[in-house]
Amino acid sequence: MTGPRKGTKGRGPKKNTAQGRGGVTRDTVRPARERAAQSGESRGAAAPQGTAGRSGAGSGGRRPAASGGRTGATNPARRKPGERAAGEGNPTGARPARGTGSLKGGAKTEGRTPGARAPQGAKAGAVGERRAPPKVRKALPELKRVVLDAPAPDAVFVDRDGERLTFADSALKRVAARVLSEKRKAWRYRPFSFPLFTDRGHEQTFHFDFYIYDAEDSVIRLILVVPFESREVWDRVGRFKRQYPMYTYELWTPEKLAFLDGPRGRLEF
């Protein structure tokens, strides 16, 4: 059976009644209007006494606040991460200056100066910027001077065509011609040159000193006699190698000539 019982005027039975302290309910307490009217009459009668009491209290000053109380403090549970209440940890409420701090155990740490930034790669705690040491050019190693037993400046050498040649202006070429003649190689001295093209398209003339031939009159080796290896020489030789990869060449320096002119000297062609 649903719905209100008979005789209740549409209201359900009271199951639970709200009670205050000591079991007080609404039925046993006077309405708020009656209590307000009664309290107003009592205040009007006690007005002269209250005025005197207020004047005496005003002369004595306000009641001092408790030492441990906080006015307007934020609930610690509602603070944001890293937020600190006003005056907490600092009696003046000002933010501590960034510069020197203290760690646990009394150790002090030095902070960074505002606007200064540690250089990249510097160790932590380094003060100031670290400058690179001045560049000092290393001295080139001294080349070992090889003493060659060169033929006389008026010495005559014969190439494969029977042409008589002298190299009065170069002792290295005289030694190279003697080595080739003693090894019975068919050689010529600068019979033709090679055109080389630079990166900008300009044409240069490049030639070796001695051209070695085989029995079929084909060039099998190109020999360039230089006093020492330099960047300019390797630049031209490298450009020649890229443009004429079908040729084989050698650089004969004083060290190479001293080895070939010795008792164990041997040509690889």
Under 8 Å between Cβ of 186 and 267? no
Hey, how many other C-beta atoms are within 10 angstroms of the C-beta on 188?
17
Mean per-residue pLDDT over the chain, rounded: 74
Q: 180: burial class by Cβ within 10 Å (0-12, 13-18, 19+)?
A: buried
pLDDT at 209 over 80: yes
Region 184-212: what's the mean pLDDT? 91
* Tens digit of each residue's pLDDT (9 = 90 or more) over 23-72: 666 666 666 777 777 776 666 555 555 454 454 444 444 554 444 445 55
Instruction: Tell which wins on pLDDT, 234 or 67.
Output: 234
Region 115-120: what's the mean pLDDT? 54
d(CA 54, CA 124): 67
pLDDT at 255 over 80: yes
* Tens digit of each residue's pLDDT (9 = 90 or more) over 129-150: 778 888 777 766 665 677 788 8
d(CA 174, CA 155): 8
Region 3-11: what's the mean pLDDT? 59
Question: pLDDT category, 213, cuts 50, 70, 90?
Answer: very high
Region 238-260: what's the mean pLDDT? 92
- pLDDT value of position 175: 93
What are the distances in angstroms from CA 176 to CA 4, 54, 76, 240?
134, 129, 97, 22
- pLDDT value of position 264: 81
Residues 6+ apart with CB under 8 A from 172: 148, 150, 225, 227, 252, 254, 257
- pLDDT value of position 56: 47
Question: pLDDT category, 13, cuts 50, 70, 90?
Answer: low
- pLDDT value of position 68: 46
* Tens digit of each residue's pLDDT (9 = 90 or more) over 146-183: 778 888 999 999 999 999 999 999 999 999 999 999 98
Q: H helices of the chain, where?
A: 32-45, 47-60, 171-182, 231-243, 254-260
d(CA 226, CA 254): 8
Domain residue ranges in the chain: 157-260
pLDDT at 107 over 60: no
- pLDDT value of position 129: 73
Under 8 Å between Cβ of 252 and 226? yes
Q: What percent of the chain has pLDDT over 70?
A: 52
Q: What percent of the chain has pLDDT over 90?
A: 28
Question: pLDDT category, 112, cuts 50, 70, 90?
Answer: low
